[in-house]
Structures are given as C-alpha cells and as structure tokens.
A and B are shown apart, each in its own frame.
Chain A
Amino acid sequence: MARTLPRTDVAIIGLGWTGAILAYELSGAGLNVVAIERGAWRDTATDFPPSWAPDELRYAIRLDLFQRPAQSTVTLRNKISQTALPVRQFSSFLPGDGVGGAGVHWNGMTYRFLETDFRLRSHLTKRYGSHILPEDMTIQDWPVDYKDLEPHYDRFEKLAGISGKAGNIDGKIQPGGNPFEAPRSAEYPTPANKQPLGSTLYSKAAKSLGYHPFPVPSGNLSQSYTNPLGVTLGQCTYCGFCERFGCGNYSKASPQTRVLPALMLRKNFEARTNCNVTRINLDSTGKKATGVTYVDKSGETWVQPADMVMVCAFAFNCVHLLLVSGIGKPYDPVSNTGTVGRNYAYQCTSGVLVKLKDTILNPFISGGAIGMSVDDFNGDNFDHSGLGFVGGGVISATQTGGRPIGQISYFPDDPKWGSGWKKATKENYQSVYALGIQGSVYSYRDAYLDLDPTYKDPYGSPLLRMTFDWHENELKMSAFVTKKLAGIGKAMGASRLAAYPRTAPYSVVPYQTTHNTGGAVMGDNPSNSVVNRYLQSWDVSNVFVFGASVFPQNAGYNPTGTVGATTYWALDAIKTKYLKNPGPMVPM
C-alpha cells in the first residue's frame, strides 16, 4: 500500500544534468524541489578518486556507473514484423545511473547543432525540393530556432566551463574555430585544450585537403575555471579515463563538479536516491499530474504529490514513464496516429583505422573530448545534390584513451590470438589511430518506441520496445562521409587503412553511442509532438520533459550541448510565464 508524503512544488525524476539544472534554478525561484533518483549518490572523493578511478575492468568493462539491465532495459527488433527480445546486457548504448547520470561518465564533447538542423525539413525541401526526402522519413522542423537557443547554449557552456575555440562570433569568422558553426555571442569560457600527437597529425592532414579542423569543444577543462554558480573546476591532467569513468580530479564538467555543490546549499531542495519512479499520477480528468509514485530500495511504495513534474531521466526512461502513465497517445506506425514513442532516432557512427609510420602515439595521454574535428561534411554544410542522401556527421580525431582491454585497434588480417596477436597488439598500440564519425540519424515512420507485450521490469511494468533499423539514407550518408574521413586518413600518411562505414542491420552488440534520441519529441502542434516548444506536455500541462527524447531527429553531433540549451530555454519560459500563470504555454 502506497503511503503519501507531504506535497512539494516540484518533483524532478532523475538527478543528472537536466535535473540538477532545473533543481538549482527552480529552488532559486523559491520553489520547494524534490529530486527522486533511481541510483545512488555519487561524489568524486568517495566514488572515483584518482587512486582507483583508472580501473578499466570495473568501469569500462563491468560498467560500474551504468544502469543495470536487471533494473530496467529495453527490447529490440529491427522490423515491425519481428519479435522484440530484451537487451539483456547493455553494449550498443550505455544508459547512466545514479546522481549525475550520464554527466558522470560522458566524454565531455559539447557541440551546438547547426542553424539548419533546427529547420531541417523546410530547409532541405527549400534547397533541394521535397523529392530529396524519402517518403517514410518523418523529420520535422524544431519548434525553436537556433536564435532562440543561442543564449541558452552560451549559458550551458558557461555553467560547464567548456574549453574550445569559437569559429563564428556574431557572424564574424574566427581563425582556428569551426567556420560552419552558427553565430555565437561569445568565445568559449576557457581556451582550447592542448592536442596530443594523433589529433595534431589529423588536423594537419585535414587542412592540407582544404578542410577546416577545429578543437573539439571539451568538458575536460584546459584550465581551472569558476562558473557563474561560484563552483570551481580544475585543470584536466589528460589521464585518459573520461569515457565510462567518473573524473577523479574535478576537471571534467559534471553535475557533481558544476551544479550540486551550489544546489545542496539550498534549504528548499531535497534529493532522494535509490528510489525508482514507476509512474506519474494524474487526476480524474487525466489532464493534470498530481505527483509521482516511487519505490524505494526496500521495496516500499510512496506517493510524492507535486504541482509540477519534471521528467529528467535518460531518453528511454522518459518515454517509458509517459507510456506507462498514460500521458499522451502512444504512437502507432501502422495507422500513423499518436505521438508518444514517435521519431526515435540514434546516431550513425562509423570509423577509419590508420596505421602511422614512425609514431609514438601514447594513446593513454588523452581525454574524452580532446581532439580535432572537421565539420565540412556535417548536416547541410555540403551540397547534397545528386548524392542520394541527406545529413552528415562531425568527423573527428579524438582518441579518448589508451585502455588496453577495449581500446586497441586491429586490422582485419591481424592475428586473433597467440604470439602473432601479441606482436600486433604491441605494434598497433603506438601506431594505429581510430578516427570516428558521429553521423546524423533522421527519423522514420517505422523507427519508434512502444511498450513490449511480453517482457516486464521488476516493478511489473512492460519494458520499452525499440523498433529500429538503419535506413538507406543513413547508410549512404555513412558510406560517403566515411570515405571523406578515409581521405584524411590517407593524407595523414597512413601505411595501412581500413574504413568501416555503418552496415545494416542495426545490432545491439557492438558499442556505438549512447546518443539515443526522440520518442517524446517537441513540435509546433499536438499532432506531431509530445511536448510544445517549452518542453511542456501537450496533454498534461504540469508535466515537462527534458533531454534528448525531445529531439525531433538527431543531428551529427553529440547531444549534451543541445540538451543543456533546451533545458535553459524551457526554464526561462517556466520561470517567466508558467509560474505566473500555470497552464498550457502554447495554445492547442
């Protein structure tokens, strides 16, 4: 029997980046805020200090900081005609868990999307004609423009202290930065990182081909920095343990190192950990949320009444909560009705291996977001006429670490075990560099999320079912952009090279990326979206959804910068409009 707790103004589900930012801002506005987090509390000195943070087995192989599939997972099928089976062990994507969420174990790459990414459908049809888009492609314009988000991108970058070099300040192209980026109002808060050998060689080669390399905007800080909340972050020591790890010396931007110290001083904020929200409760009209129900770690059920419910979990879990709570109409691809679960997208990653002569790459001297990128083949930065696809990706040299179990690259004909493997391992470690692409994935009628009919989580709810496969457009994009990357690899003087464009079908086995997006997308009307331009549910106006599940389709960049920007954008509207006059902020 559920017990009911005293009412609060705001209940936040999930205490990662978006939950922490919301909690700080809304408690600052005088509201009582309770954050309910499924995982444990985590802090630097206790959970991942430098002495034992660099433990590849524990963190990168056994995935200590990640969601346990036993607690929550998804089922997968490639086609509607197939039977979905549970992802019993995460590997293609790795949802985070615990306080800080994915912000603890991320690499720190903090891009802004392109101006054209936000008006994707209208831009592409205007430039190329509507025939360029496949019939089943369901991309749509964002209900916000880059200009709306610019101040909020800036705000998130200043919160995190991002290190980088601007390429376009107020329309003026800046040498050394990304000339394709949308105009920024300011330089990055901290200068670009120093570059190791591999990305330096990449940058030189890209330049020789006429491309425009720029330093990856990085949450691994080039120097100490105090953010507007007064919280100080340290200088990155290039230890090479960002990806899948917590940072031991306060130098990677995370909710822990950027927001929580200031948030926890707020008397009107409380965090509850090891508490799993199982549903958002609605009143009898179904139009208003009354709070949330959660199960604590002893298995006891609690009801937390709240005036506002902020859904700040990982993309999958946000969509799952909406579906099990009956908020919005579930998407049905056959009848093409409903919206919840629609436009699930992913990221189409691919890579190129290059073997470099006479190099000592020291791959262990690195950071998650330290490297160089080229944006010449991202989004619509290049002419797609006659190419047979739309979209693109950021192509980068970012060796995130030199972890020996998982990060040594081999060519297909290298021996697989025995003395030959040992020889190849030793040689490749210092000479083989893996270049990579974060490719866009556009949305389609048959790529979506709904509830699985068979498999359930430990709380008795159906698992989320993912129906997803690669489409012709993305495979062609991947082939094209990977070829361009291979060209840079050749120009690096590679003595051997192997290109790996993405191939179908989609598989959950090899790690690709944790940039799962969509399912609760934002849009300009209730027929094409779950939330409005202020991330407010069309159906239940005191429920808001944050994070990448609101992206209408995925761009060719890491998502965190845009997650931060959309969060601050919506917060502004909540503070200036909603709190004064609770109710729908966009008329239906």
Chain B
Amino acid sequence: MKVPERPSRLRAARNRLGKVQFSVAVGMTLVWMLLFNGFQLRPESLGLLVLGFLVAVVIMLLFPMPPIDPGFRFRPIALVRMVAYILAKMVVASFSVIRQIFTSGEVHSSVMAVKLRTQSDLMLVCTAIASSIIPGTVIVEVGRDEWILYVHVLGADDEESIEQSRLDILELERQIVLALGTGKDVAALAGPAPTGEESP
C-alpha cells in the first residue's frame, strides 16, 4: 500500500479544495471585515480583506460542508423590500402580542400545517427563520419531506384567523423567494396555491 498513497492523498486534497464555495467564502470575509472594522479606509484594509478570505478558505478546508443546493440569487431591490416587509411585520406583530399579554383570560392558539410552494432547503430555512423572528408564530416542527412547516400561532382561535396567518406565512415565503430564490423557485411560486386542507 506504499505506492498508491501519494495519488490518493493528492486526490483527497483536490476533493477538499472542491469543497470551497466561493459565495460562502465571500460571506465569511464580509463578517471578518465587519469584526475588524475593515470598511473604514485605513492602510491595512486591503490586508484585512486578503487575510479574511484566506481564513475563510482555511475554515472550509478544515470543516467541509455540503454545498448549498440548489444555491441562491441575490436580487438587491427585492432584498430591501423583503427586509422592510419583515421589519414592518415585526413591529405590527409585536404590538399584537403585547395586546394579548394584557387581555384577560387564557390565550388560545393553534398549531397549523403550512405547505410551502417552493421545494428548496434554503427557502424552507429562510422562511422558518423569518417566521420565528416575527412575533406570534413559532415553528414547532418541520416536515422536510413534504415541505410543510408546523406553526404555532398565538391567539388564533377561529378558522378565519388561522387562515389569515396561513396567508401571512405564504406571503413571507413569496417575499423571501423573490429576494433570494433561484429562477426555479420563483416559477414554483406561480404554481397552484395550496389550500392547506389537503392531507399530506
């Protein structure tokens, strides 16, 4: 086993290098620059940039991660709109949760299944994070096989409000996909809107 050791090691090194994802490295470099105040123009700014990128590459060589599949696109205008939408939602929903704190009696709520229209892990995660950030909804369970989020909605005690919060989450998904989704995801949005009543 002495002879093939070298080529296999070479191949392993090349495999490792293949795990480096450029977009993720750029993201990590951005965080590095923010950490060390690199955007304030100083003589060492360029050095920080290069060093940050090298650190990002080394991290991905040491801890290889599966690639983000099927990837994502940045659409700046839609991204700004998505952030504004989420912030506005957060403010409105915060006040409705505060109102619920001060109404007397026990608060009733429901757990409901929301079937997403897109079939992409990244969009699922983003939607789950966004709806967790917005007050009044907590993700209890994710059915990844069927792309279903099980959401606990505070204060949803009749059919109408349950349906309303289902629509809210689908709208959230739409905003996120328009901002970050691939062309295939955007096309999936136009598909038939799930009613949610269908059993998985």
Chains A and B are bound partners: no
Chain A residues within 8 Å of B, Cβ to Cβ:
none
